[in-house]
Amino acid sequence: MPGFLCREGMQVRRSMFTLAAAATAVLPAVAVAQEERPAYVRALAAGYKAGFLCSNLFNGGLSEAQTEADDLRGTYENLSPLLAGLPAQVDRERRMVSVTYDPVMPPRVAVWRPLLGCAQLPIGATAEAVTTLPRINAKAPDLDASAWPMGDRGAIGRASGDPRALAGTIAGAFDRRSYGQGSETTAVLVVQNGRIVAERYRPDLDMHSSQRTWSVGKSLAASVIGAAVQQRLIDVDAPAPVPEWKAVGDPRGRITTDQLLRMASGLNSDHAGNRTDALYFGGVGVAHQAAGWPLVAPPGTAFRYANNDTVLTIRGLQHALGDGERSLRFPFEALLWKVGMTRTVPETDWRGHFVMSSQVWTTARDLARLGLLHLNDGLWNGERVLPAGWRDYVRRHGPAQPASGYGYGASWWTFQQGSGLPTDAIVARGNRGQYLVVVPSRQLVVVRRGFDGNGMAFDLDAFTRDLLAALG
């Protein structure tokens, strides 16, 4: 993508070679301590550390200490033991992070760009690859002083119901025991009748602090698709415009965007679940990692939760838009900035393909805005951003459903039957306790952010029930 090349390529290369040399100089002791770990696993751990440091520092303005305490602890069992021992170097001037993991391989590198956040270079890439990273020439509008929900002015309202019960429920979300032993809540925000009626953050964070969405990003990706449907740029019932499937005779060419949104593509994946390490931490691009899997079931007949299906929906949309600057600007101009989500950063791979299955950084207030858009069935200040009926479309269950009891629509979840929770609710759910709940019948939006570790789970069902009871 020559139109998006970094303008300071020579300076960046010199900086990166300096980082690589310095990091390699300290590696032997680390290599001895971790020599029993396969090189690929160490490379993934280094990519994990580089990516999270880069995104937290330069997307969210968080510190290295916060990143070490939160995102680099309580994570994947095969990577977590390695993270502390891998040396990281931060180049704040160039907004790059380099993590060394092997004496003969280049460090893993993540580089930040405005709006598009951090992209990881592939394993083995040298500093020259920095100049190929896509960039766009745009700036987010400054809406902070605008009236809520576009901005922050006048956001606070008064809750109905029992204020003491509401305060107690919010406090319980932070006490690490009421809704899950050891759970770690960082933010709770409740919107009732269009106004924020409860909002609390961990002391070191605030309303503009950004965290990774993890799989809440899947629901955002579905919303981007909805904006494209509204503009008649894509048909969800037509074969997904994934270019890698267009060869004559390729059976995957029949998979529709709707089937991808419903995790019903029929494709195999590296894990039946939510692990795509090569894409997330290895620097492998979307087109190579996600598009190459074969069918194991007829499309539309089997549920298999996989990041690949989500990234392929956006891969298809970007291709339909021309795979250029227009495709990179689309999420911002068609959705995010229209509803005031100016602090939301959807990141790309190093080739410029969005990884919206997980790699989105956003704030609690921006997630609340996304919830309000769906609460209002796609209308925002009189403008139709999503198609009429899109809220019902994403809630409607596909023919293939998960075994957990929770329902799955078009990249949004529904509560379990018999849970006692409203049946019209839709839920976005992400790793480590990221939740967005939209309850149209109660004019309610709930956001919960966290850093829950392995084996720790926040009881969203109980929390939502208690909130509904407190709000009357």
DSSP letter for each residue of 392-432 = HHHHS--SS--TTS-EE-SS-EEPPTTSSS-TT-EEEEETT
Instruction: Specify if 437 maps to a domain.
Output: no
* Dist CA 367 CA 447 (whole Å): 7
Do 114 and 217 share a structural domain? no
Amino acid at 202: R
What are the angstrom distances between the C-alpha of 169 and each of 136, 190, 282, 365, 409? 43, 11, 40, 19, 29
Contact criterion met (CB below 8 Å) for 335 and 356: no
Torsion of CA 74, 76, 82, 84, to 10 degrees: -30
Buried-state track 432-452, b at ≥16 Cβ within 10 A, e below 16: bbbbbbbbbebbbbbbbbbbb
Confidence of residue 127 (pLDDT cuts 50, 70, 90): confident
Convert the pLDDT of each residue in 342-356 to its tens digit: 999 999 999 999 999
pLDDT in tens, 200-224: 999 999 999 999 999 999 999 999 9
Q: Does residue 343 fall inside a structural domain? A: yes
Threshold 0.75, pTM exceeds: yes
Token pair 């479309």 is at which residue?
Answer: 393
Any domain includes 156: no
For 65, 101, 172, 299, 452, the CA distances from 411, given in Å and listed in that order, are 34, 36, 29, 16, 22
pLDDT at 29 > cutoff 70: no
Beta strands in 302-364 (DSSP E): 345-346, 360-362
Q: Which of the residue ranges 78-82, 215-219, 426-430 would you say has the lowest mean pLDDT? A: 78-82
What is the rounded distance in angstroms from the CA atom of residue 253 to the CA atom of residue 374? 31
Q: Is 305 exposed, middle or buried (0-12, 13-18, 19+ CB in 10 A)?
A: middle
Q: What is the pLDDT of residues 352-392, one digit of tens each?
A: 999 999 999 999 999 999 999 999 999 999 999 999 999 99
Name the percent of the chain lying above pLDDT 70: 92
Domain endpoint, select from 378, 411, 444: 411
Q: What is the pLDDT at residue 37?
A: 66
* Predicted pLDDT of residue 273: 67
Beta strands in 204-328 (DSSP E): 211-212
Place of tokens 């766009």: 136
Same domain, 126 and 264: no
In angstroms, the CA 435 to CA 250 distance is 37
pLDDT for the residue 16: 36
Beta strands (DSSP E) in 1-154 are 88-91, 96-99, 108-113, 117-120
Look at residue 203 and tell me if it is in a domain.
no
Mean residue pLDDT of the chain comes to 91
- Is 169 within 8 Å of 463 (Cβ atoms)? yes
pLDDT at 227 over 60: yes
Closest CA to 391 of 222, 236, 240: 222
Cα separation, 170 vs 201, in Å, equals: 10
Q: Same structural domain for residues 276 and 381?
A: yes
Per the domain annotation, does 374 fall within a domain? yes
Q: Give residue 410's pLDDT.
A: 98
- Assess whether 217 and 128 both reside in one domain: no
If one counts the domains in the chain, the total is 2
Q: What angle do CA 393, 436, 349 make, to 5 degrees?
A: 85
- Asked if residue 104 and residue 9 are part of one domain, the reply reads yes
First to last CA, the chain: 55
Q: Which of 100, 132, 164 is the last residue of a domain?
A: 132
Q: What is the pLDDT of residues 154-191, one digit of tens each?
A: 999 999 999 999 999 999 999 999 999 999 999 999 99
Q: Which of the listed residues 374, 396, 411 is the one where a domain comes to its end? A: 411
The 8-class DSSP code of residue 445 comes to: E
Shared-domain flag, residues 127 and 244: no
Do 304 and 394 share a domain, yes or no? yes
Describe the crossing of helices 216-230 and 307-320 by its angle, rounded to 10 degrees: 30
Which contacts qualify for 111-114: CB closer than 8 Å, 24 or more apart?
111/54, 112/54, 112/55, 112/57, 112/58, 112/59, 114/139
**Do residues 299 and 389 share a domain?**
yes
Are residues 238 and 113 part of one domain?
A: no
Residue 151 lies in a domain: no
| Residue 304 structural domain | 212-411
* CA contacts within 13 A on the Cβ side of 34: 28
Query: Residue 20: is its pLDDT beyond 70?
Result: no
Identify whether residues 222 and 356 lie together within a single domain.
Answer: yes
Query: Minimal CA–CA distance to 243: which of 204, 291, 207, 188?
Result: 291
Is there a domain that residue 217 lies in?
Answer: yes
User: According to the model, what pLDDT value does residue 270 have?
Assistant: 79
| Contact criterion met (CB below 8 Å) for 225 and 261 | yes
Instruction: Give the residue-averaged pLDDT of 121-136.
Output: 90
Same domain for 235 and 378 = yes
Please state, in angstroms and rounded to a whole number, the distance separating the CA atoms of residues 256 and 416.
27
Q: How confident is the model at residue 129 (pLDDT cuts 50, 70, 90)?
A: confident
pLDDT score of 185: 98
**Same domain, yes or no, for 98 and 219?**
no
Q: What is the pLDDT of residues 263-321, one digit of tens each?
A: 999 999 877 666 899 999 999 999 998 999 999 999 999 999 999 999 999 999 999 99
Q: How confident is the model at residue 88 (pLDDT cuts 50, 70, 90)?
A: very high
396: pLDDT confidence band, cut at 50, 70 and 90?
very high
Identify whether 355 is part of a domain.
yes
> Which residue has better confidence, 7 or 416?
416
- Take residue 296 and report the two structure tokens written for it: 């194991």
Q: What is the H or E stretch that residue 447 is in?
A: strand 444-450
Q: According to the model, what pLDDT value does residue 400 have?
A: 87
